[in-house]
């Protein structure tokens, strides 16, 4: 080893289950520090680990650059990532990369562009790649292209198409983590009396006015506002600067996506007896050295959020910090609104729906201790905060807490581990807890607290089952024009459901309709030979999306143009079968032409704040019927929703998944809880062909224990 250099071990974000030895000048940086290192023919960002370098390695490369003085990954997060890598059998570098904003780990991005050249003998994979690029404007990122095509690595096709002149390939360095600033004019010397002002300004009336405006604005004002909006010239600002009265500086501007957003009510509610009992137990645990995790099992509408808020209030009084996880990005604005109403600027938001700048700013504020509460989806668990007192996992049963890509961690289990490392209270909240959490509470590994009734004395909605088998046997009624039938004969909206919707619209109340299946039709079949279009990667049927005229795999995101001919026999007799939210939206609009309908699923909420815009319209009473997938089943609280209709409760019942019945029960129970959250009361109608199934029966009776 060269004198004056120190060997370190570096974890790289690669699918390799080991670290690599490098040398740095001087002393070794602290574990968790980002470094730029050479690796084969590229440069990568990695992280210093606490591992001891292998002394038998004779020749090592030098670190190109140490990118930070203060480690971006805190010691407790390094420990958590180490546990995650070992437990979930994932490379350490990929686990660490998961814990920080992407802008801190990206090195370069590859883009593809069409040249316009056509012709040549191309493979099917090359043709698909060119087709995908031709349907989009401008250069496309290789990673995005690969993920959307769903055909694995596309580098062989890229190299071939570049060589043949069909496309170009460009590598672009990503923007460095940047702090957004604004030019600000601020007062550095006050003028206490009229004499001082006269001496400073003399006949300079505009200088006097500008100085007075800055004073009135709190001794600091944005330069653009002073010059463009208020009409003061740059010469006036320069004159004030030369006199030593003001200075022009660059001031950091925080990119807060929720700044100016409406906040929930800040009025503190008096806890019910059950809520107070829960709070007493949780607050007592705050002072314990190693408290057990808590299962907070409360029926829908029981006021679990109030318990969370009051518990966080106690943690902040003790100088501690907190993390609150929600399962859906769609729920984040509502949750942030409630918590900011009580805790103001103590709350920072972390989730993948934010821009890289917004997420980086929130991460930095938490890292510097300027925010003490992190709220967000799964990734908020990695908030870089210290002295954690509380970690809340709301709707802990939700499957979205399980990451499908490496490292395939479960945020609920990681929350328990991180809380244990800090001696913090971990609260797992749900009306329908996962069976493993229920088991852990039953055998004493977790403590269980129950909120058995709705807050405010409200009653759970009446749930009724509509047997679709019997409906198929009914003759057409006076509602026949509204009760649409599919080709296979099953009712989409039954007579009872149509009547119930009519009644709510007449009363100016609101309706939620659930069908947990996206798209227009769930599969495409040839009537001539029976061929069903399948994903070439997953061997599952492709879903037809009418809006885009494409067939899509909802597992790997493979997609293709909807066929007009059978790919097997060439017949044009193509049938689009099965039911999806697009089709239910069309049927509902035809059945209720006077109703205002909104659809909420992955396809309608891909844009930034699309979730929030839809929910705000519902809250303002601009939507009569909200139709959607499972994302409308959780956390929504709209007093005028008095009817919930489940179009088909059987969609997930027969999936090849041992959790199918559990998830069906949870989904039905959760969506039922959206109804009757005010004095108007509520009703739930569940359409099913399996009314005798134990998951359906338990959901109808709101009886978790009989299901478990």
Tokens standing for residue 565: 């001919």
Please give the structure tokens belonging to residue 695.
Answer: 């998951």
Dihedral (C-alpha) 247, 252, 258, 259: value to the nearest 10 degrees? -10
Instruction: Read off the pLDDT of each residue in 36-61 and give the average, rounded to a whole number.
Output: 86
Assess whether the region 5-104 and the region 462-518+579-707 belong to the same CATH fold.
no
Residue 325 contacts residue 380 (beta carbons within 8 Å)? yes
Where is average pLDDT lowest: 19-33, 143-157, 174-188, 640-654?
A: 174-188
- Categorize the per-residue pLDDT at 672 as very low, low, confident or very high, splitting at 50, 70 and 90: very high
What the block records as the tokens of 395 is 């709707």
| DSSP 8-state secondary structure symbol assigned to residue 385 | -
3-state SS track over 514-583: ECCCCCCECEEEECCCCCECECCCCCCECEEECCCCEEECCCCCCEEECCCCCCCCCCCCEEEECCCHHH
* Residue-level pLDDT at 489: 34
CATH of segment(s) 462-518+579-707: 3.40.50.300
Distance CA 80, CA 421 (A): 9
Q: Please give the radius of gyration of the chain, using alpha carbons only, rounded to the nearest integer.
A: 30
Residues 303 and 455 sit within 8 Å (Cβ to Cβ): yes
The pairing of strands 246-252 and 181-187 is antiparallel
- pLDDT recorded at residue 170: 86
| Structure-block tokens of residue 52 | 């001891």
193, with CB counted inside 10 A (0-12, 13-18, 19+), is exposed
Query: Closest Cα partner for 80 from 484, 382, 440?
Result: 382
The pLDDT of 423-436, averaged and rounded, is: 96
Confidence of residue 259 (pLDDT cuts 50, 70, 90): low
| pLDDT greater than 80 at residue 324 | yes
Q: How far apart are CA 324 and CA 344, in angstroms?
A: 15
Distance from the Cα of residue 153 to its chain's centroid: 27
Name which CATH class applies to 273-457: alpha beta
Please give the structure tokens belonging to residue 179: 């702090």
- Mean pLDDT across 357-367: 89
pLDDT category of residue 177 using cuts at 50, 70 and 90: low
Long-range pairs for 599-607: beta carbons < 8 A, 24 or more residues apart: 599/627, 599/628, 600/330, 600/626, 600/627, 600/628, 600/629, 600/631, 600/632, 601/518, 601/628, 601/629, 601/631, 602/518, 602/629, 602/631, 603/518, 603/519, 603/545, 603/547, 605/330, 605/631
- Give Cβ neighbours of residue 664 (< 8 Å, ≥ 6 apart): 649, 652, 653, 695, 696, 699
Q: What pLDDT is stored for residue 254 in this prediction?
A: 73
Calculate mean pLDDT across residues 78-96: 96
What integer pLDDT is reported at residue 110 of this predicted model? 82
pLDDT at 78: 96
Q: Is 330 exposed, middle or buried (0-12, 13-18, 19+ CB in 10 A)?
A: buried
pLDDT of 476 reads 52
CB neighbours (10 Å) of residue 368? Answer: 10
> What angle do helix axes 155-164 and 124-134 make, rounded to 10 degrees?
80
Whether the CB-CB separation of 598 and 618 falls below 8 Å is answered with yes
Angle in degrees, 0-180, between the axes of helices 75-87 and 411-422, rounded to the nearest 10: 140
Give just the sign of the alpha carbon dihedral 277, 278, 284, 289.
positive
Q: What is the pLDDT of residue 404?
A: 87
Distance of CA 584 to the CA centre of its chain: 26
Nearest-5° Cα angle at 336, 335 to 339? 85
The pLDDT, as a whole number, for residue 485 is 45
Task: Say if residue 160's pLDDT is above 50.
Answer: yes
Give the model's pLDDT for residue 589. 93
Q: Tokens for 203? A: 């006949």
- What mean pLDDT comes out for the span 458-465? 91
- Would you call 42 helix, strand, or coil by DSSP? strand
What is the mean pLDDT of the segment spanning 547-565? 88
pLDDT number for residue 486:
39
Which of 212-216, 330-334, 397-401 has maximum average pLDDT?
397-401
pLDDT greater at residue 351 or residue 576: 576
Higher pLDDT: 4 or 202? It is 202
Q: Indicate the SS3 state at residue 635.
A: coil
Query: Residue for token digits 């808020």?
Result: 309
Superfamily of domain 5-104: PriA, 3(prime) DNA-binding domain (3.40.1440.60)
Give the number of other Cβ atoms within 10 Å of residue 171's Cβ. 11
Q: Which pLDDT score is estimated for 539? A: 83
Measured CA to CA, the distance from residue 627 to residue 597 in angstroms comes to: 7
φ, ψ of residue 679 in degrees (nearest 5): -70, -10
Cis, peptide link before residue 620, omega less than 30° from 0: no
Please, which residues have CB within 8 angstroms of residue 160's CB and are 6 or more apart in sequence? 123, 126
Q: Are 72 and 35 in contact (CB under 8 A)?
A: no
* Paired sense of beta strands 373-376 and 347-350, if any: parallel
Higher pLDDT, 52 or 562: 562
Residue 163's Cβ-count burial label (10 Å; 0-12, 13-18, 19+) is: exposed
Q: Which of 352-356, 501-505, 539-543 has the highest mean pLDDT?
A: 501-505
Q: What is the mean pLDDT of residues 42-65?
A: 86
Share of the chain above pLDDT 90, in %: 53
Are the CB atoms for 39 and 20 separated by under 8 Å? yes
In the predicted model, is pLDDT for residue 262 greater than 70?
A: no
* Total residue count of the chain as it appears in this document: 708
pLDDT in tens, 596-651: 999 999 888 877 778 888 988 999 999 999 999 998 988 788 999 999 999 999 98
Where in the chain are the domains?
A: 5-104, 109-172, 181-252, 273-457, 462-518+579-707, 523-577
Q: In the chain, what is the greatest distance between 2 CA atoms, to the nearest angstrom? A: 97
Tokens read off for 662: 């559990």
Q: What is the pLDDT of residue 490?
A: 43
Average pLDDT score, the chain:
88
Residue 369 has pLDDT above 50, yes or no: yes
SS (H, E, C) 163-224: HHCCEEEEEECCCCCCCCEEEEEEECCCCCCHHHHHHHHCCCHHHHHHHHHHHHCCCEEEHH
Q: Which residue has the tokens 């030979």?
A: 529
CATH number belonging to domain 109-172:
1.10.10
Question: In the structure encoding, which two tokens stand for residue 312, read together?
Answer: 């966080």
Cα–Cα distances (Å) from 555 to 73, 169, 498, 540, 675, in that order, read 32, 28, 33, 9, 31
Highest mean pLDDT among 162-176, 603-617, 653-667: 653-667
The DSSP call for residue 400 is G
CB 629 within 8 A of CB 517: yes
CA gap 157, 655 in Å, rounded: 35
pLDDT in tens, 280-294: 999 999 999 889 999
CB atoms near residue 629 (< 10 Å): 22
Q: How far apart are CA 203 and CA 226, in angstroms?
A: 20
pLDDT at position 57:
77
pLDDT classification of 481: cutoffs 50, 70, 90: very low
Name the percent of the chain lying above pLDDT 70.
94
Distances (CA, A) of 461 to 244, 298, 499: 69, 15, 18
Helical residues (DSSP H) of 347-494, grouped into ranges: 356-367, 411-422, 435-442, 468-473
The two tokens of residue 466 are: 């509509």
Residue 156 has pLDDT above 90, yes or no: no
């Amino acid at each position: 080893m060269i004198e004056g250099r120190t060997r370190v071990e570096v974890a790289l974000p690669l699918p390799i289950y080991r670290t690599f030895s490098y040398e740095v000048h001087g002393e070794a940086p602290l574990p968790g520090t980002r470094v730029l290192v050479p690796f084969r023919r590229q440069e990568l960002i990695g992280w210093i680990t606490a591992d001891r370098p292998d002394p038998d390695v004779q020749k090592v490369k030098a670190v190109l650059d140490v990118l930070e003085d203060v480690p971006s990954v805190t010691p407790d997060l390094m420990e958590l990532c180490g546990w995650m890598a070992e437990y979930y059998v994932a490379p350490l570098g990929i686990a660490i990369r998961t814990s920080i904003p992407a802008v801190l780990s990206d090195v370069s991005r590859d883009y593809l562009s069409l040249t316009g050249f056509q012709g040549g003998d191309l493979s099917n994979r090359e043709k698909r790649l060119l087709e995908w690029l031709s349907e989009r404007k401008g250069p496309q990122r290789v990673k995005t292209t690969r993920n959307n095509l769903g055909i694995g690595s596309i580098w062989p096709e890229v190299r071939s198409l570049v060589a043949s002149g069909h496309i170009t390939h460009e590598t672009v360095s990503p923007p460095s983590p940047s702090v957004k600033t604004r030019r600000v004019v601020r007062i550095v010397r006050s003028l206490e009396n009229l004499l001082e002002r006269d001496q400073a300004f003399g006949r300079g009336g505009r200088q006097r006015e500008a100085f007075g405006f800055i004073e009135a604005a709190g001794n600091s004002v944005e330069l653009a506002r002073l010059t463009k909006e208020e009409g003061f010239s740059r010469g006036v600002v320069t004159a004030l600067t030369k006199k030593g009265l003001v200075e022009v500086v660059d001031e950091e501007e925080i990119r807060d996506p929720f700044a100016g957003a409406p906040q929930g009510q800040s009025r503190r509610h008096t806890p019910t007896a059950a809520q107070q009992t829960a709070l007493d137990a949780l607050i007592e645990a705050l002072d314990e050295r190693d408290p057990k995790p808590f299962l907070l099992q409360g029926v829908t509408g029981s006021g679990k959020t109030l318990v969370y808020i009051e518990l966080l209030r106690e943690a902040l009084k003790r100088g501690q910090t907190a993390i609150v996880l929600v399962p859906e990005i769609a729920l984040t604005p509502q949750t942030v609104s409630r918590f900011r109403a009580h805790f103001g600027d103590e709350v920072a938001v972390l989730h993948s729906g934010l821009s890289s700048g917004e997420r980086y700013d929130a991460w930095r504020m938490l890292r510097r201790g300027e925010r003490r509460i992190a709220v967000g989806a799964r990734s908020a668990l990695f908030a870089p905060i210290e002295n954690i007192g509380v970690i809340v996992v709301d709707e802990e049963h939700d499957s979205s807490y399980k990451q499908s890509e490496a490292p395939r961690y479960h945020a609920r289990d990681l929350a328990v581990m991180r809380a244990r490392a800090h001696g913090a209270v971990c609260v797992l909240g749900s009306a329908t807890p996962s069976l493993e959490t229920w088991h852990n509470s039953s055998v004493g590994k977790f403590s269980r607290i129950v909120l058995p009734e709705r807050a405010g004395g409200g009653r759970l909605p009446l749930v009724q089952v509509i047997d679709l088998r019997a409906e198929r046997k009914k003759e057409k009624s006076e509602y026949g024009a509204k009760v649409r039938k599919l080709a296979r004969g099953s009712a989409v909206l039954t007579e009872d459901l149509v009547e119930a919707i009519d009644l709510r619209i007449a009363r100016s109340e609101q309706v939620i309709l659930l069908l947990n299946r996206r798209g227009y039709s769930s599969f495409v079949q040839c009537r001539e030979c029976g061929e069903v279009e399948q994903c070439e990667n997953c061997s599952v049927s492709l879903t037809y999306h009418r809006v885009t005229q494409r067939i899509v795999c909802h597992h790997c995101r493979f997609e293709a143009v909807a066929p007009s001919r059978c790919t097997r026999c060439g017949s044009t007799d193509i049938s689009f079968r099965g039911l999806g939210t697009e089709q239910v939206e069309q049927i509902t609009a035809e059945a209720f032409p006077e109703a205002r309908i909104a659809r909420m699923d992955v396809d309608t909420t891909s844009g930034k704040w699309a979730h929030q815009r839809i929910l705000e319209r519902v809250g303002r009473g601009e939507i009569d019927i909200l139709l959607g997938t499972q994302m409308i089943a959780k956390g929504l609280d709209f007093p005028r929703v008095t009817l919930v209709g489940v179009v088909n409760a059987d969609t997930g019942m027969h999936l090849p998944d041992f959790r199918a019945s559990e998830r069906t029960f949870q989904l039905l129970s959760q969506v039922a809880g959206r109804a009757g959250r005010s004095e108007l009361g509520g009703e739930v109608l569940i359409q099913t062909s399996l009314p005798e199934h134990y998951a359906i029966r338990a959901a109808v009776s709101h009886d978790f224990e009989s299901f478990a």
